[in-house]
Every structure is written in structure tokens, then in C-alpha cells.
Chains A and B, each alone.
Chain A
Amino acid sequence: MTTADGGAPIGALDLAAGVAARDVELTLQVEPGEVVAVLGANGAGKSTLLALLSGLLRPDTGTITLDQRVLVDTDRGVWVPPHRRRVTLLAQQALLLPHLSVAANVAFGPRAQGVGRREARALADRWLAAVDATEFADRKPGQLSGGQAQRVAIARALAADPAVLLLDEPMAALDVAVAPAIRQLLRRVLRDSGRTTVLVTHDLIDALSLADRVVVLEAGRVVESGPTREVLSAPRSVFAARIAGVNLIAGTADEHHLRTPGGLLIAGLLAPDCRAGEPAVAVFPPNAVAVSREEPVGSPRNHLRVVVTDLEPRGDVVRVHAAMPGGPDPLLADITVAAAADLGLEPGDPVLLTVKATGVAVHPAT
């Protein structure tokens, strides 16, 4: 979609900046076209990161470069203002300009960058079509629902043709019923446009379904960074462990299951935006997993033959770490201390993990 310098991939981002007043000292590298999810508690520095990248906040120290351009270099006194960065922000609220029509809102970026009226309108129409919002073109933002407005805001952000797209919890202010559709739309447009994206989120599902990589912030520092599934299934930072610490099994979706590369079928509840044959991930919490030595009786649909690798006491429960033979994904099960004693578990023991299908959520993955 975006071409500069003869079609070379653009959107390589490199930031190392500090803001003393907020006790923030951040480093971040993003590859062209990469989607990075930034996770962290409130006050961890997520908003500061976006403000630094967009140019709404000046760092006290550090540099930010985008491709060959130095956006900020405090030592050399370089400062590129927000409107010359080609870094566009999509916030929680759609923030559509209330006095302009939907089409004029989407055409705002191109118009501001000097594109002619007619061409900007054509661009707006194209992006409105891309987000399935053509029918709203002539309405005023006040006549749209939250989900509709956010669709238009996505079109407006992309019509500005940014080298980097910043998403600040874009689903957080939406109705629970609307969020999956917007997430699906973002998946589609981010994949189609191959645009470098920094996504701030609280939501595990956002990170899983949109991001290639996860960065975790704590107290103004990057404490963890890595491929999404690795960080979320084996979190090392406190925050990632709190929101994650879940079982993740990767594979492809079919009608009612997740099929692992090894051919195992995991029954679960499929998210509405799952498509058969597309990459997906099964998510279930450790406390939804039962551990037994023999084939259990009853309704649970999922039986996984695993080997215990570790036992971790956690107050009232014992967390059983286990691995499928030949499977790279570690699995976790929380059982009571009494149950652990009854079973007499030791590392190396073969056991059976049982999960009800209703305890498993299957989401599309990147």
C-alpha cells in the first residue's frame, strides 16, 4: 500500500527516550510492517510511549528515528512536529470532528497533506468502503453509534497514509458486542496494508489476534519483549503473568475445534471471527484443567496425554507444569493441594489433562 523510495518497506521504528517527570525510560524497535502490542498496567508508560512516538510529548533525553528520518534527537536539538511525522493516532474514542461529515472526516488527512478536494474525496470513499462504512459517508458523526464511529476513525487514520499507525486501546470504549467486529476489521486492514503498528492494549485477545510481538511495560521500563504466544504462555514479568499465565495451544481453526500441527483436536467455543483453515489459538485458564492418572468418566471433551515437568506450590493450589510429548507448548493446571497429594504427582509422571470444551476459547491468531 505504502510506497516510498521505490517501494522499499517503510515503517522501521527505533526509539530510546526518557521523560524524567514521569520516570519513564523506554526503548523500542519495530520492524517495517510489524504489529507490536504494548501491554502494561495503568501508569506503566503506555500512553507516554504513544505520546512520544506521535510527537505530542517531548522527551528530555533520547532519539526517535523512523526509517532514515531522525524525528527526535535531544542532543542535536532535532524535533519533528506531529504533523510532519506520518505517525497517526487512533484513540479509544473515535474523536471524529463533529462539524464535518463522515466523508470529510476521512478526507481530512489527505486534504491537510495537500491532496486536491476531488482526489481526497475519492480516497475517503475507498477507505470507507474498506471498513464497510460507505453508507455513512454523508452523515454527521453525531448520528453514528460507537462501533460505527470507530470504523470511520480507522478509515480516517489509514486514509492519512501513515508510516506508523498508533492504536491506543481502540476497542476499550466499545460495547462488548461490537468489539469483536472492530477487532476483525483491524486484523483485516492491518494485514492488507502491511503497516507498522504499535497497539496499546489491556486485552489478551487483542494482543493474540492482532500482534506479531508483545512488549510489556512496568514502571516506565520495557521488562519483556518477544513473540506474542511465547510471552503470553510463559510470562516472565508480573503484569504479563497476571493477564496471561494461561494455556495457549496454536493451530488452525475448523468448524468446532482447533487442530494442532500434530493433528490433535481441541474442542472449544470458537470466536465469531474464526475462519475454518485459518491460524487460531485455543486459550484456557489453568483452573479449568483437571489432572488424573486414568481415563476419566463424564462429559469433558478434551483429554491431553502429557508428562509432568514441574510442580509449583501457589498458596491453596499447586500449579502443575506439563508438556505434551513432542509438543512445544507448555501446559498449566491448577489443582488443590489435597488433589496433588492424592495423585502423588512427581515430575516425569505421565498424566491425563482434562478440559471441558466450554472452558476453551478459540480465537483467530496472527
Chain B
Amino acid sequence: MTTQQERRSGRRASAARTDAGLPGWVYLPALIGGIFIVLPLVAMVARVNWGQFWILVTSESSVAALWLSLKTATASTLLCVMLGTPMALVLARSRFPGLRLARSLVLLPLVLPPVVGGIALIYTFGRQGLLGGTLEVLGIRIAFTTAAVVIAQTFVALPFLVLSLEGSLRTAGRRYEAVAATLGANPTTVLRRVTLPLVLPGLTSGAVLAFARALGEFGATLTFAGSLQGVTRTLPLEIYLQRETDADAAVALSLVLVVVAVLIVLVTRRRGSEGVV
């Protein structure tokens, strides 16, 4: 009885504390920050030429760019899931010397300027690159092809998936896996029937974030893959190009990307947005 009473009054006290905590002046810079994010979007929407909107976004080059963006972003998201899931598992579940270093290296593309990433990719997969000679012998050319776009996008998007999934794996913990193992499940069965189903929300939101990052990729793509219509010119590249000649088209296409971004934010929010990002 006493403990219950104590617990109840304790809860009331903590509720009161959250109400009292924030000094009033904090709201002003917070509001300025919020306006800073929303105002440019409003400004852009205000500039949209609604009469021409449909014609602009369905022009041949726009459709080609949009279609290429969707294809490449989907492909690189699949690559991120296939490579990033094992990476997150290793980072979250295994122990070996240099694990912390490995985690820092995996996150490098997150903080690296995309242009630098593109340069690094040229010297890896380009004709004069580290693997270029070998690939040339095999008859594979990557630089300035659609494959290069996918590689560039995967390079920059991979850390998003790894981070998000690793966070989910740590939150989920190992207790379910331990019990499953003592019930006779081998490690592969545990992974397939316990671990992955438990972190599926984290994997999904990680994949959505990776898709968003891939869709918006610009610097590494331009540097490593160039800007050929229908081959490597994705939507962000098309927008940048149109801005010089046809500002209305650039604004219209930008609005398309904003809508996609808003959808992505909504999807990940509803998923409970596990993980870090």
C-alpha cells in the first residue's frame, strides 16, 4: 500500500518537473530555426508555375531523369539491404579487435563530401583505378554508366541503413536469440526466424532512409558517373541543369522531390523511426 502510494506520488512529481523544466526564451531560437527550415520550401512552392507544371514534369528529359532516379535508387537500396544488413549484424553482435575502428570507417561516407566520394570511386572503379584494370580485362566498364550511378548512390546511402539497423539490433537485445538457441535453433535459423523479424521495423526505416539518400545523391554521381541523359542524369542532376536554362522546370521537378521526401518522412515516422537518424 505504502509503496504504491509512493510510486504514485513519485509519478506525479516527475510529471510536474517536465512542465517546469524549459525556460521561456528557448522558444524564440527554436521558432527561428523552424522558420529557417520551412520558409525556403514555402518560397519554392510559391514560385511553381502551376499552369505549366504538368507539361514541365512530363517532358521527355524530365521523365527520363525521374525514371532513371527511381530505377537506380531502388537498385542501390537493394544493394544497401544486401550488404548493410550483414554489416549491421557484425557491428552489433560480434566482438573482434578493431570493431570500433571498423564502425568509424563504415560511417565515413556519411560525413565525407559527396564530391570527394566520387573522386575516390573514380580511382577505384575508373579505367585507371585500383580495380579498373581487372574489370577492363573482364570486359566490364563502370565509369559513366548507369552502374556507376548505382555504385555512387550505394556508397553514400549505405551508412544510413547500417546505422539504423545497428541501433535496432542493439535495442532488441540478445535475450530472444539466446532462448531460441537453447530451444535448438542453429545460428542461421535464429537469424531468419528471430533476429530479422524482430528488427524488421528498423530494417524498413533504414531502407527508406537509404532510398531517400540515394534519390537525392548529386555530388558523387556527377563526379563519378557524369551527366548523360537517360544513362546517368538522375533527377537532381536534371534539376541542376534545368536551373540554368528553364527555372520553371527546375522548380517543378524540385517540387516532385519535396513530395517524395515528405512521403518518406511520414513513412519512417509512422514506423516509430527506430535507430539513430
Give residues in A with beta carbon < 8 Å to B: 54-56, 81-89, 91, 93, 95, 97-99, 108-109, 112-113, 156-157, 160, 162, 166
Contacts and interface: CB of A to CB of B under 8 A. Distances in A.
B100 interface: no
Given A89-B178, A108-B193, A112-B189, A160 B184 contact: yes
A112 B176 contact: no
Contacts of A162: 182
Contact of A112 (B180, B197, B198, B200): B180
Contacts of A82: 178, 181-182
Interface string B159-194: 000000000000000011011111111110110011
Contacts of A108: 180, 183, 185, 193
A113 B184 CA distance: 6
A98 B180 CA distance: 13
Contact of B179 (A55, A84, A89, A99): A89
Nearest to B186: A83
13 contacts: A54-B182, A81-B181, A82-B178, A83-B181, A83-B182, A91-B175, A93-B175, A97-B197, A109-B183, A109-B184, A112-B184, A112-B186, A160-B182
Contacts of B184: 83-84, 86, 88, 109, 112-113, 160
A113 B183 CA distance: 8
Interface size class of B (residues with CB under 8 A): 10 to 19
Nearest to B181: A82
A95 B183 CA distance: 12
Given A82-B178, A89-B178, A97-B176, A157 B183 contact: yes
Contacts of B178: 54, 56, 82, 89
A144 to B, nearest CB: 16
A99 B197 contact: yes
B40 to A, nearest CB: 42
Nearest to B174: A56
Given A97-B197, A108-B193, A112-B189, A156 B183 contact: yes
Contacts of B190: 83
B183 A87 contact: no
A55 B181 CA distance: 9
User: Among A89, A109, A112, which residue has the most Cβ atoms of chain B within 10 A?
Assistant: A112
A156 to B, nearest CB: 7
Interface string B181-220: 1111111011001100110100000000000000000000
Contacts of B186: 83, 112
A230 to B, nearest CB: 31
Given A56-B178, A91-B179, A95-B176, A83 B194 contact: no
A89 B182 contact: yes
B273 to A, nearest CB: 19
Shortest 3 CB-CB contacts between residues of A and residues of B: A112-B185, A109-B183, A82-B181
Contacts of A89: 178-179, 182
A193 to B, nearest CB: 16
Given A82-B178, A108-B185, 8 more contacts: A83-B186, A83-B189, A88-B184, A89-B182, A95-B179, A109-B185, A160-B182, A166-B182
B182 A97 contact: no
Contacts of B182: 54-56, 82-83, 85, 87-89, 160, 162, 166
Nearest to A86: B184
A168 to B, nearest CB: 10
A360 to B, nearest CB: 25
Contacts of B193: 97, 108, 112
A171 B30 CA distance: 49
Contacts of B189: 83, 112
Contacts of B175: 91, 93, 95
Contacts of B187: 81, 83
A25 B175 CA distance: 25
A113 B193 CA distance: 13
A149 B141 CA distance: 58
B173 to A, nearest CB: 10
Contacts of B179: 89, 91, 95
A167 to B, nearest CB: 12
Nearest to A159: B183
A98 B154 CA distance: 32
A76 to B, nearest CB: 23
Contacts of A54: 178, 182
Contacts of A97: 176, 180, 193-194, 197-198
Nearest to B182: A89
Contacts of B181: 55-56, 81-83
A240 B74 CA distance: 63
Nearest to B175: A95
Contacts of B183: 83, 88, 108-109, 112, 156-157, 160
